[in-house]
Amino acid sequence: MNFRISIKYIFSILTIVFVIFILAVVSVIDRRVTSKLDGVLWTVPAKIYSRSLEIAEGGKVNINNFLKELEMLSYEESSNPQNPGQFHYKENNIRLFLKGYKKQESGLYEISFEGNKVKSLKRQDGIRIDLISLEPMPIGGMYPSHMEDRLLLDWTQVPDRLVKILLAVEDQGFFDHYGISLKSISRAFFTNIKAANIEQGGSTITQQLAKSFFFSSEQTLKRKAVEAIAALLIEFRYSKQEILLAYINDVHLGQSGKRSIHGFGLGAQHFFGSSLKNLETDQLALLVGMLKGPSLYNPRRNPMNALNRRNTVLGVLRRDGLITEEVYMDLNIKPVKTIKPSFRSETKYPAFHDLVRIELRNNFEEEELRSEGLSVYTNIDPIFQASLENNIVLTKEKLVKKYGKKLEELEGAAIVVDIQNGEIKAVVGSTNPSQFGFNRSLNAIRPIGSLVKPFVYLSALEKYQDFNLTTTLDDSHLSVPISNNSSWEPNNFDKKYHGNVPLHKALWQSYNIASARLGIGLGFDSVGKTFKSLGIKKKIPQYPSLYIGSFEMSPFEVIQAYQTIASDGFYSPLRSIRDITDIEGKSALSYPYKIEQRFRPEPIYLIKFAMQQTFIRGTARGYKQSTIDKWNVGGKTGTSDDQRDSWFVGYAGDYLVLVWFGFDDNRPTPLTGRTGALELWKNFINDINPNSSTKTILPRINYVWTDIGDGKLSGPKCKNSILTPFIIGTEPKNIPSVRRRCGSMLEDESSSVIKKLKQVFEKKKSETN
């Protein structure tokens, strides 16, 4: 009797212990289910996008660049656009079926051009509209260590066709079971018994979700049991719609380098360059078919496997009556078409990504960037970026061919900004632009050479009662004591002295001695004030070689200073980011356009005249006058001591571009600013072909004919004459006797020319308005 009681007691204890153990296991799995499933949909890395191209009626458009952008966005040429992502171009007219983006509805639009302007913009129904927006290009992200990437979808973004295809192929009884399908399990059980191995799974979508979230891919009975418990708990805790949405957002669809592609939303973008709602039935069938083996059925690596798998899925849809026999036959013979992947690692554009990351970290924690699904919309222009990357490679190849293998290790950097608002449009930090690592556009601190001279000359021209463009500067031998036993004696690049020269000529010919003497006369305080107004934050060294470029800056710092000059004296902080939205599409942070007037417009006008002469007569000469006038160009070459650095900065149309070439170990190169950096600048500008730009007209500026050699009054019929701008009241008054005859009609001719110039400028201005 006592023995029976003891056995019963022990059995009861063991039963209680077992039940407690099972409850504990279930509780642990339940906690993992809720913590993972509640949180997984929010663990989304920040996405980084290019700017969205806006086309406005009456706005300027470079048609060739527009067509290139459509190609980069994976739009297809079609004689009769009927689906999102198709277009047809003929005789200044584009019929474009937009894919849709934010508030921009998908649909067919017609754009008519007249020259480089949008003449009209119409919807499919013929109604005229003001503006359309192309979708931005994904260019990178801020990924966690596991490099999982996904585009989070809500239920409204999931096409009904995808749900039907998914359930037909993966889990036909999804809405009837409670996480486990005994029918599927029994079928898989007998198949595996017959094969004496685990060959087939009987997992439901819920079980697949549990496996994806919590467990390894090993095929063991223990793992299957735990997976089944988790599936039951998921079904108990969440609705069918929530489970299906979690599955749609989490499935693994392949790798892009280190980046792991998860979810149908990102899969649609990665393989087809479009949103999920725009995909055709055959494209959805391909994505669903890939679930069986993302690598085996990857359409880029194994196109035949992918085609056969897609057709198998289409066969299932035909069998279940989801498509007709006729539709099946049409889709079955369609080729599998995918786009090239946008990027394979953290970013498509490493140098630009560094700029974005710096701006982001000023406002967000690292964890926010890697988990909260922010969308970062930048200012990068993908056409400009592609051109800059291509041309820095081609330019280096030409330089190596010209100068030999000694330039094989030549490095470079280049930056493109919008003059008016400081938006960064393109950046490269190496002659191998896709290379990660040292970003020379940000971190190469180099002597800027003659790029410093416009800053010195601007300091002088601000003192317009004392200096104008024809003020003579002394370019004779200069010796400046710097210690008891030594002196500093600068040389010109051509090793010659040029005597007295007009201020503007000294600048566009880049005479070192005249520039040094001018800077010494102005003083460090005066020049330092100009540096500060240009946005240069570095401490200014007080030694005379500063005035000819013995001053180190990064390419980013240099182009910020020149932006103020190019924009007529208005300073705008350079910025890579335009706007940031949260996971729900609401604005999280904006980067508004900031502007501050730092200089009066008249001195800037004068310095820009001299910088334009660089293209007409100086170190950047070579362009036709018509091209110079069209783009309203200006710029400056720079070469440091022993030709260790080759610089060029210049503006054309709406854009300012800076280029640097040199060696990382600072050894000499055979390049000057003209033979090196300028070559890349020209190749890039010629490639993008900026829209025309109108010249600023200031009421306080008056043009007078002067002599290029001595800077004194001249006339239009005199040799070596140049029509020179002056702030009213500072013009030279007397003409030398040797030029009185050729300058006898000076007043009439000058006023006539000025009137004609004003008429031309006013005409151009009216054409652009």
- Predicted pLDDT of residue 215: 53
Higher pLDDT, 237 or 36: 237
The whole-number pLDDT of residue 489 equals: 94
Name the CA radius of gyration of the chain, rounded: 34
How far the first Cα of the chain sits from its last, in Å, is 108
Q: Are residues 403 and 278 in the same domain?
A: no
Span 419-428, average pLDDT: 97
- In this structure, the answer to whether residues 130 and 151 fall within a common structural domain is no
- How many domains does the structure of the chain reveal? 4
Range list of H helices, 404-502: 440-443, 453-461
* Residue 203 CB burial class (10 angstroms; 0-12, 13-18, ≥19): buried
CATH for 426: 3.40.710.10
Whether 81 and 97 have beta carbons less than 8 Å apart is answered as yes
Q: Which of 688, 714, 749 is the last residue of a domain?
A: 688
Q: Does residue 355 sit within a domain?
A: no
Q: Tell me what pLDDT residue 512 has.
A: 97
- Catalytic residue selected from 57, 76, 170, 242: 170
Q: How confident is the model at residue 749 (pLDDT cuts 50, 70, 90)?
A: very low
Sequence-distant (6+) residues with CB within 8 A of 143 are: 45, 149, 259, 346, 370
Same domain, 477 and 555: yes
Mean pLDDT of 354-360: 94
Q: How far is CA 164 from CA 271, 317, 583, in A?
A: 21, 9, 27
User: Residue 712 belongs to what domain range?
Assistant: 701-768
**633 and 517 inside one domain:** yes
Are 626 and 728 part of one and the same domain?
Answer: no
pLDDT recorded at residue 768: 47
With tokens 């509780």, the residue in question is 27
* Residue 720 shares a structural domain with residue 680: no
Last residue of a domain, one of 656, 688, 720: 688
pLDDT in the model for residue 711: 93
Distance of alpha carbon 389 from alpha carbon 386, whole angstroms: 5
205 found inside a domain: no
Alpha helices in 501-648 (DSSP H): 503-508, 512-522, 524-533, 555-566, 601-616, 625-631
pLDDT score of 483 more than 90: no
Task: Classify residue 738 by its DSSP letter.
Answer: G
For the segment 433-453, what is each residue's pLDDT rounded down to a tens digit? 988 889 999 999 999 999 999
What is the Cα–Cα distance from 509 to 619, expressed in whole angstroms? 6
Distance of CA 715 to the CA centre of its chain: 49
pLDDT at 751 over 70: no
Sign of the torsion formed by the C-alpha atoms of 189, 192, 198 and 201? negative
Mean pLDDT of the chain: 87
Strand-pairing partners, residue 754, are none
Range with the lowest mean pLDDT among 39-53, 205-219, 502-516, 584-598? 205-219
3-state secondary structure of 565: helix
pLDDT value, residue 7 = 72
Give domain status of residue 658, yes or no. yes
Residues 6+ apart with CB under 8 A from 612: 628, 632, 633, 634
Q: What is the CATH number of the domain that holds 288?
A: 1.10.3810.10
| 506 and 549 housed in the same domain | yes
Q: What is the model's pLDDT at position 31?
A: 61
Looking at this protein, which amino acid is placed at residue 626?
Answer: S
Domain contains 533: yes
Same domain, 512 and 602: yes
The pLDDT value given to residue 173? 81
pLDDT: which is higher, 173 or 138: 138
Is position 450 annotated as part of the catalytic site? yes
Residue 367 pLDDT grade (very low, low, confident, very high; cuts 50, 70, 90)? confident
Tell me, yes or no, whether 328 and 398 share the same domain: no
pLDDT tens by residue, 515-558: 999 999 999 999 999 999 999 999 988 999 999 999 999 999 99
Q: Same domain, yes or no, for 725 and 677?
A: no
450, 545, 550, 567: the catalytic one is 450
Instruction: List b or e across 128-152, with b for residues whose CB sees 16 or more CB atoms inside 10 angstroms.
Output: eeeebbbbbbbbbbbbbeebbbbbb
- For residue 127, is it within any domain? yes
pLDDT for position 244: 86
Q: What is the pLDDT of residues 57-94, one digit of tens each?
A: 999 999 999 999 999 999 999 999 999 999 999 989 99
- 534 and 643 share one domain: yes
Instruction: Give the range with max mean pLDDT: 18-27, 255-264, 331-340, 449-458.
Output: 449-458
Which of 646, 661, 688 represents a domain boundary (last residue)?
688
The answer to whether position 590 is within a domain reads: no
Alpha carbon distance 341, 338 (integer Å):
9
Same domain, 573 and 437: yes
With cut-offs at 50, 70 and 90, classify the pLDDT of residue 19. Answer: low
Does residue 720 fall inside a structural domain?
yes
| Mean pLDDT calculated for residue range 404-412 | 96
Q: Which residue has the tokens 């890349």?
A: 680
Average pLDDT in the 245-255 region? 88
Please state which of the ranges 128-142, 271-285, 334-348 shows the lowest mean pLDDT: 334-348
pLDDT given at position 757: 53
Q: Pseudo-torsion of CA 745, 750, 755, 759, nearest 10°?
A: 120
98: domain CATH number is 3.30.2060.10
Is 4 among the domain residues? no
Q: Are strands 655-662 and 411-418 parallel, antiparallel or unpaired?
A: antiparallel
Tally of CB atoms within 10 A around 397: 12
pLDDT for the residue 171: 83
pLDDT in tens, 191-222: 446 545 443 456 787 777 777 766 555 555 66
Closest Cα to residue 42, out of 131, 133, 148? 148
